[in-house]
A and B are shown apart, each in its own frame.
Chain A
């Protein structure tokens, strides 16, 4: 069964460092998303991406964050200068249809620990 894959599974970084989280969405999907989950809290929307541009972003997704689809398969989330409060599980998701017409498929997440 096709699945969303994410790397790395866990990354530890120093505050102020740049981090890139990588995702390979399901191959025929058109919509891509990043969500995050701080430990013990609910899953929060960060950004959605369609047709090579950001469709929607949350207030969390400030200038320190960026997303890219550098080729036909990868979808990346970059945090330019990490802060302690960026420590969380980051989930990539994809869908074939718009989210209010079909389900999102989530990856298993990348845990980011900022020291």
Chain B
């Protein structure tokens, strides 16, 4: 079936480094992609989103890149801080406007930032 998955399950970086978290998706009809951050014991927290008609979107210290040709999504975190340590999930939702909430989540990448 259709799925969203991640290349790397864990990522360790030093404080101040830039982090890149990757995600592959298989549903070419996906219209909307979201990155969530999940800290221990908490629910997923929205970070940034991107639509399929874009290939890049920037937020505060975060950038999402979308490569539809190879169905690849990445999250770049600039100047990573210890507070960025969490599990990061990509999620997608099917195109067509008919879906009412069925986000499909990837497996998650554990980001650990060392001081």
Name the residue of chain A whose CB is nearest to the CB of B91.
Answer: A43
Contact A100:B89 (CB < 8 A) given known A106-B45, A108-B41, A108-B43: no
Cβ of A48 < 8 Å from any Cβ of B? yes
Cβ of A99 < 8 Å from any Cβ of B? yes
| Contact residue among B31, B46, B105 (Cβ-Cβ distance under 8 Å from A103) | B46
One of B11-19, B58-66, B78-86, B92-100 at the interface:
B92-100
Is A45 a contact partner of B107 (Cβ separation < 8 A)?
A: no
Classify chain B: how many residues form its interface, as a range.
Answer: 20 to 34
Is B43 a contact partner of A100 (Cβ separation < 8 A)?
A: no
**Cβ distance B106 to chain A, nearest Cβ, rounded Å:** 6
Classify chain A: how many residues form its interface, as a range.
Answer: 20 to 34
Main secondary structure of the interface of A (DSSP, over half): strand
A99 to B34, CA, bound (A): 10
0 or 1 for each of A75-111: is its CB under 8 Å from B? (1 = yes) = 0000000000000000101010011100111111100
What is the interface of chain B, defined by CB distance below 8 A to chain A? 31-32, 34, 36, 41-46, 49, 89, 91, 93-95, 97, 99-108
